[in-house]
């Protein structure tokens, strides 16, 4: 019997104590799905497990390949990763060393393009003075700042140090400071608040501030409100990642959606290709970013136009069909259309004649029924692919719609 491949997975800037966090949870779940479909063994390590010890003790020899989210701000981990890249197949994802290597394989999103999207969006909403706020100096943060800086330069818009925190507007390099975030070490609340107050006290104040992450965007909006500023009328604010921490925020935060599940899947599949047939690097798979425009930047209202009712129904229906398997489809659709989620839900009911959740469940059930009829996928995989996270809820809705359980429904078609 052919032995299973053994893969080490390093989350160098994350902790298993936060496994309930949406980023780490999505990564682990996606890797688990590939593991089951490819019959692999995965061993997970978090930031308490030293990459240099893994490399230095020779533990790596037990593995066929290594996946790594490598913090570029940790020089010891970076040096160990670069040695590993020369010894066995390795793929970095989300975060990687700053140095270039002929052995480097990487999967993530196009960070520069993402920030260019944000600059373009707030510009469309009337902003011409745009600030930046970051506490980390990881590779992805540097690339985001490069995207922000180049987007302003191309448009001829002002770039002032008083509007920027964390990086030099002249050189693009990170600025030192005790507020600097490192893996496992976040700046104190008082340090972060002092940074926000300095940016908001700038004369003149920027029209918009782009934040390197969603939690920072929420904190900046809260501090702006404490100072009597209105978001987005007086200040537009954006985040990054589309993390679940921003659900329920008022106003809803404009952000960039990162498909962490797809990133993890692509990284593991690339690693398996390298194990089967090594090829020289460097190689980067950069997934396209997706802007979710929400109320924290929408000064000019609904910009979706006024097509006829039938065409709009078809368009919104097609958009929903593309997101049936995604978590939070209402927020995703609202972002695509440039609407706040509550307003989108009201518009959906007025346009479609029924609540969004009812239409969503009906479409998901139809997709599940088609899959049960035409594929051999397990019932569990079917309901997960259709966006249901709970089998009890899925079975109750399926029985109500089709008069029998999903398994019985499949058997009916198999016996014909």
DSSP type of residue 143: H
Which percentage of the chain shows pLDDT scores above 90?
44
CATH number at residue 216: 3.40.50.2300
Q: Are residues 247 and 133 in the same domain?
A: yes
Question: Would you state the pLDDT for residue 341?
Answer: 85
Residue 1 lies in a domain: no
In angstroms, the Cα distances linking 405 to 64, 400, 408, 409 are 42, 9, 5, 6
Residue 293 lies in a domain: no
In angstroms, the Cα distances linking 118 to 112, 132, 156, 201, 254 are 10, 11, 16, 23, 9
Question: Would you state the pLDDT for residue 403?
Answer: 85
CA distance 151 to 174: 18
CATH number at residue 408: 1.10.10
The 10 Å CB-count burial string (b at 16+, else e) for 328-362 is bbbbbbbbbbbbbbebbbebbeeebeeebeebbbe
- Helix segments in 125-251, DSSP class H: 139-155, 189-200, 214-226
Residue 303 predicted with pLDDT over 50:
no
CA distance 106 to 138: 15
Q: Which residues pair with 185 in a beta bridge?
A: 182
Say which range, 97-106, 111-120, 158-167, 254-263, has the weakest mean pLDDT: 97-106
CA distance 100 to 79: 12
Reported as a single tens digit per residue, the pLDDT across 35-78 is 888 889 999 998 888 899 999 999 999 999 999 998 888 889 88
Mean of pLDDT values over 80-101: 86
Question: Would you state the pLDDT for residue 160?
Answer: 95
Q: Are residues 212 and 139 in the same domain?
A: yes
Residue 21 predicted with pLDDT over 90:
no
Of 380 and 21, the structure prediction assigns the larger pLDDT to 380
The number of residues in the chain equals 416
In angstroms, the Cα distances linking 373 to 92, 226, 286, 383 are 39, 56, 36, 13
Q: Are residues 275 and 251 in the same domain?
A: no
Q: Are residues 119 and 105 in the same domain?
A: no
Structure tokens belonging to residue 192:
């972060």
Residue 133: pLDDT band (50, 70, 90) is: very high
DSSP type of residue 206: P
Q: Are residues 115 and 227 in the same domain?
A: yes
H or E element in which residue 42 lies: strand 41-45
Mean of pLDDT values over 396-405: 88
Q: Are residues 176 and 223 in the same domain?
A: yes
Q: Are residues 253 and 278 in the same domain?
A: no
Residue 189: pLDDT band (50, 70, 90) is: confident
Q: Are residues 338 and 372 in the same domain?
A: no
305 and 128 in contact (C-beta within 8 Å)?
no
Other CB atoms within a 10 A radius of the CB of residue 184 amount to: 14
Residue 93 lies in a domain: yes
Mean of pLDDT values over 362-385: 89
Question: Would you state the pLDDT for residue 216?
Answer: 94
Closest Cα partner for 259 from 85, 26, 14? 26
Residue 307 lies in a domain: yes
Residue 203 lies in a domain: yes
Say which range, 34-48, 66-80, 171-185, 288-302, has the weakest mean pLDDT: 171-185
Residue 196 lies in a domain: yes
Closest Cα partner for 92 from 102, 103, 83, 104? 104
Q: Are residues 348 and 396 in the same domain?
A: no
Question: Would you state the pLDDT for residue 311?
Answer: 76
Residue 181 predicted with pLDDT over 60:
no
Residue 292 lies in a domain: no
CA distance 380 to 94: 29
Residue 366 predicted with pLDDT over 50:
yes
Structure tokens belonging to residue 301:
């209202």
Residue 7 predicted with pLDDT over 90:
yes
CA distance 215 to 239: 8
Q: Are residues 226 and 144 in the same domain?
A: yes
Asked if the bond preceding 282 is cis, omega within 30° of 0, the reply is: yes
Q: End-to-end alpha-carbon separation of the chain, Å?
A: 37
Question: Would you state the pLDDT for residue 18?
Answer: 58
- Total domains present in the chain: 4
Mean of pLDDT values over 308-317: 78
Question: Would you state the pLDDT for residue 233?
Answer: 92
For every residue of 328-366, DSSP letters joined together read: SHHHHHHHHHT--HHHHHHHHHHHHSS-HHHHHHHHHHH
Domain extent, residue 398, equals 359-414
Q: Are residues 116 and 250 in the same domain?
A: yes
Question: Would you state the pLDDT for residue 101?
Answer: 64
Question: Would you state the pLDDT for residue 23?
Answer: 81
Question: Would you state the pLDDT for residue 97?
Answer: 80
Residue 141: pLDDT band (50, 70, 90) is: very high
Residue 81: pLDDT band (50, 70, 90) is: very high
User: Where do the DSSP E strands lie in 156-282?
Assistant: 164-165, 208-211, 236-238, 255-257
Question: Would you state the pLDDT for residue 305?
Answer: 39
Residue 250 lies in a domain: yes
Question: Would you state the pLDDT for residue 4?
Answer: 83
Q: Are residues 29 and 99 in the same domain?
A: yes
């Amino acid at each position: 019997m052919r032995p299973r491949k053994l893969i080490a997975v390093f989350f160098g800037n994350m902790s298993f104590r936060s496994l309930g966090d949406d980023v780490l949870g999505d990564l682990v779940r996606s890797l688990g799905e590939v593991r089951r479909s490819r019959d692999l063994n995965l061993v997970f390590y978090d930031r308490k497990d030293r990459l240099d010890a893994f490399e230095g003790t020779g533990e790596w020899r037990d593995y066929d390949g290594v996946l790594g989210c490598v913090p570029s701000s940790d020089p010891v981990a970076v040096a160990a990763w670069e040695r590993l890249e020369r010894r066995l197949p390795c793929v970095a994802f989300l975060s990687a060393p700053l140095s270039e290597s002929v052995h480097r394989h990487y999967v993530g999103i196009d960070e520069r393009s993402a920030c260019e999207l944000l600059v373009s969006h707030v510009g469309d909403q009337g902003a011409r003075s745009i600030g930046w706020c970051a506490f980390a100096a990881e590779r992805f943060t540097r690339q985001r700042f490069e995207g922000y800086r180049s987007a302003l330069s191309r448009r001829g818009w002002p770039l002032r140090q008083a509007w920027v925190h964390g990086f030099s507007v002249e050189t693009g390099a990170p600025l030192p400071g005790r507020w600097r975030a490192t893996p496992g070490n976040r700046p104190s609340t008082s340090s972060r608040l002092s940074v926000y107050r300095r940016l908001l006290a700038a004369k003149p104040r920027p029209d918009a501030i782009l934040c390197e992450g969603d939690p920072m965007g929420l904190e900046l909006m809260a501090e702006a409100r404490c100072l009597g500023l209105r978001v987005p009328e007086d200040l537009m604010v954006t985040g990054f990642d589309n993390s679940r921490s921003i659900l329920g925020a008022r106003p809803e935060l404009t952000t960039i959606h990162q498909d962490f599940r797809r990133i993890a899947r692509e990284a593991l599949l690339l690693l398996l290709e390298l194990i089967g047939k090594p090829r020289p690097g460097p190689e980067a798979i950069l997934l396209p970013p997706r802007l979710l425009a929400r109320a924290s930047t929408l000064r000019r209202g609904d910009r979706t136009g006024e097509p006829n009712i039938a065409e709009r129904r078809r368009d919104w229906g097609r958009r929903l069909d593309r997101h049936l398997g995604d978590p939070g489809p209402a927020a995703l659709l609202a972002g695509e259309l440039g609407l706040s989620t509550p307003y989108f839900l009201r518009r959906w009911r007025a346009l479609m004649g029924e609540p969004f959740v009812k239409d969503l469940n009906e479409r998901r059930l139809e997709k599940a029924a088609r899959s049960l009829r035409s594929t051999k996928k397990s019932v569990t995989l079917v309901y997960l692919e259709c966006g249901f996270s709970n089998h009890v809820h899925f079975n109750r809705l399926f029985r109500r719609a089709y008069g029998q359980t999903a398994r019985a429904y499949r058997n009916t078609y198999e016996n014909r």
